[in-house]
Amino acid sequence: MIWNETKECMSRDEMTALQSKRLVKLVDYVYHNVEFYRKKMQAIDLMPGDIKGIEDITKLPFTTKDDLRDNYPFGLFAVPNSEIVRIHASSGTTGKATVVGYTRYDLDVWSECVARCLTMAGVGKDDIVQVAYGYGLFTGGLGAHGGAEKIGATVVPMSTGNSKKLTTMMVDFGATAIACTPSYLLHISEVLAAEGLLDKIKLKAAVCGAEPWTEKMRHEIEQRLNIKAYDIYGLSEIMGPGVACDCAFHRGLHVCEDHFLPEILDTATLTPVADGVTGELAFTTLTKEGIPMIRYRTKDLTSIDHSRCECGRTSARISRFKGRVDDMLIIRGVNVFPSQVEAALIEVEEVTPHYMMIVDRVNNLDTLEIQVELDPKYYTDEIRAIETMTKKISHVIQQALGINAKIKIVEPQTLVRSEGKAVHVIDKRKLY
Ligand code: DLL
C-alpha cells in the first residue's frame, strides 16, 4: 500500500480529510485481510462502505489487549509472514505475550515518527545519541534507534544493564542526547554524581518515556543534569515509541495523527469526550500494514487539545498521562495513582523521587505503606529528626491522596533502581 500523502503542519480541515481518506482505506483493508475484524463487523452488520470518514469512527468496534492475546501469536496480522520483517512482543504481568509484526513500510513509518519526536527535542544529525532503552522484544531500544539513525545522528546502542559503562561512555564519547526511561535517567544522574562526572558530560537533551512521570520529575531531571527533557509516548500494540512527543513548550504531546487517529473516551460509557476532558485514550492506526488496530483501547488516561501549539505545529496534543485505567489502585474506596505519590514526594526537598507503595489488607481494611528514601545530605539516624520528617511526608501524602499512609523512611540507595519501566507498587491484596 502507498500512503505517502503527508504534508507538514496541515490545517485541521486538511488533517481531517487525510485521516478520513486513510480510515476508509484501512477499514476496507482490515475487512478483507483480517478475519477477526471482518467477523466483528459482520456481527454488527457493518460493511466497509458504511465508514465514509472519521465522523463514522464510533460505528467501529473496539479492540483490546485481550483480543491480541486471544489471537496469539499472529492472528491479527493482515499480511502473510513473508511480508513481516520484524516482531516485537510485550509480556505484561498476566497471560500470553502480545505479539506485533511490522512490514518494511511499517518500520519506515516508525522511524519517521521517532525522527519527528527527536527533532522536537532538538536532536539532529550532529548529535551523539545514547539509546538506553532495552533492546530486544521491547520496542524502546530498536524504536528509538531507528528514529535516531533516520535523522543521521550517531547512535550508541547502549541498551540497559550497565550504568557505569553508560556514564563512562557518555563522557568519553561526548554524548549529547539520551533516550531512556525517566526513572533510569534519575538513576544515571546519581551514578554520574557518585563518580564525580556531572560536570564532564556534554548532554543537552533526553527523550524519556515508557512509563508515567510528572512535570516535576522532568524539572528534577533537567536540574540535576542541566539538560532539557522531553516526554515521548507510545505502545507496542500501536507501534512503539514515537506515537506522540512533547515540544519545547511542553504543553502536551503532539500526536503523529496522520498515522494514528486518537480518541478520548469516557471511562464509563466509552463515548468520545470533548477536548480538555480526561478519559481513556484509544487509537486507530491509519497506515499500518502488518497489524492494523481499530479503536485500540490503550487504558491510558489523558485529555486532548486540537488547538494550534505555540511551537507552530497543528497536530493534536494529548496531555501528560494521569495514569492507566488499570494502574489505578482503589485503597479504602479512594482512587489512587502512583503518579500522585510521585508528584507529592517531589515537593518534599529532603526526599528523592524513588518510592515504593505497598498495599495490603489487614482485618479487611486496606493499608498503604509508602517507602521513601531521604536525600543522602538529609539522612540521619536521629530518631527525633526521622519522626519529624515522617510526619511532614505523611501530611503531604494525606493532602495529595486524601487517605492516610504509613510512611517508612529508608536509607539512601535502598530502593531498587530500575533500568526499564519502574515498579512502584506491590499490591499484596492480589495475592489472596
Ligand atoms: O513503552 C513504548 C515506549 C518505549 C514508549 C520507549 C516510549 C519510550 P509498551 O511496553 O507496550 O510500549 O508500554 C506501553 O507504557 O500504554 C503507557 O501506559 C506507558 N507509557 C509509554 N510511554 C509513556 C509516557 C512502550 N511517555 C505503555 N508517559 C503505555 C506515560 C507511558 N506512560
For residue 92, the model assigns a pLDDT of 55
CA 355 – CA 406 distance, rounded (Å): 13
Residue 246 in contact with ligand 1 by CB distance below 6 A: no
For residue 75, the model assigns a pLDDT of 98
Nearest CA to ligand 1 atom 18: 300
The rounded Å distance from CA 172 to ligand 1 centre is: 30
Quick: pLDDT tens for 354-394: 999 999 988 778 899 999 998 888 888 888 888 999 999 99
Residue 300 in contact with ligand 1 by CB distance below 6 A: yes
Q: Taking residues 255-272, what's their average pLDDT?
A: 97
Q: Taking residues 187-197, what's their average pLDDT?
A: 94
**What are the E-state strand segments in 217-364?**
228-235, 240-246, 253-255, 260-265, 279-285, 296-302, 304-305, 317-318, 323-324, 329-331, 334-336, 351-362
432 pLDDT band, cuts 50/70/90, is: very low
- Which residues does 426 contact at the CB level (< 8 Å), separation at least 6? 356, 357, 358, 359
> Which among 366, 381, 279 has a CA at the least distance from the CA of 322?
279
Number of C-beta neighbours around residue 384 at 10 A = 8
For residue 430, the model assigns a pLDDT of 63
The rounded Å distance from CA 140 to ligand 1 centre is: 8
Which ligand 1 atom minimizes the distance to the CA of 243?
Answer: 5
Which ligand 1 atom minimizes the distance to the CA of 253?
Answer: 26
The rounded Å distance from CA 236 to ligand 1 centre is: 8
Question: pLDDT at residue 287 above 80?
Answer: yes
Among the residue ranges 117-121, 127-131, 316-320, 401-405, the one predicted with the least confidence is 401-405
CA 133 – CA 160 distance, rounded (Å): 6
Residue 293 in contact with ligand 1 by CB distance below 6 A: no
3-state helix, strand, coil in the chain (%, to 5): 35, 25, 40
Which ligand 1 atom minimizes the distance to the CA of 327?
Answer: 18
For residue 419, the model assigns a pLDDT of 85
Question: pLDDT at residue 38 above 60?
Answer: yes
For residue 389, the model assigns a pLDDT of 92
The rounded Å distance from CA 298 to ligand 1 centre is: 10
The rounded Å distance from CA 208 to ligand 1 centre is: 10
Higher pLDDT, 213 or 368: 368
Which ligand 1 atom minimizes the distance to the CA of 232?
Answer: 26
Which ligand 1 atom minimizes the distance to the CA of 207?
Answer: 8
Question: pLDDT at residue 1 above 50?
Answer: no
For residue 93, the model assigns a pLDDT of 46
Supply the Cα-derived Rg of the chain in whole angstroms.
22
Residue 210 in contact with ligand 1 by CB distance below 6 A: yes
Q: What does pLDDT average to over the chain?
A: 93
CA 283 – CA 285 distance, rounded (Å): 6
> Which among 264, 425, 432 has a CA at the least distance from the CA of 330?
425
The rounded Å distance from CA 242 to ligand 1 centre is: 10
Quick: pLDDT tens for 322-361: 888 887 888 887 878 888 898 899 889 999 889 999 999 8
Counts of helices then strands in the chain (DSSP H, E): 10, 21
Among the residue ranges 47-56, 187-196, 378-387, the one predicted with the least confidence is 378-387
Bond from prior residue into 241 cis (ω within 30 degrees of 0): no
421 pLDDT band, cuts 50/70/90, is: confident
The rounded Å distance from CA 232 to ligand 1 centre is: 8
Residue 429 in contact with ligand 1 by CB distance below 6 A: no
Question: pLDDT at residue 6 above 80?
Answer: no
The rounded Å distance from CA 40 to ligand 1 centre is: 28
Residue 90 in contact with ligand 1 by CB distance below 6 A: yes
For residue 2, the model assigns a pLDDT of 35
Half-sphere exposure in the Cβ direction for 80 (13 Å, CA): 1
CB 45 within 8 A of CB 62: no
Among the residue ranges 15-29, 121-135, 366-380, the one predicted with the least confidence is 366-380
For residue 8, the model assigns a pLDDT of 59
pLDDT over 90 percentage in the chain: 77
Question: pLDDT at residue 94 above 90?
Answer: no
Q: 38: which 3 cell numbers?
A: 471482518
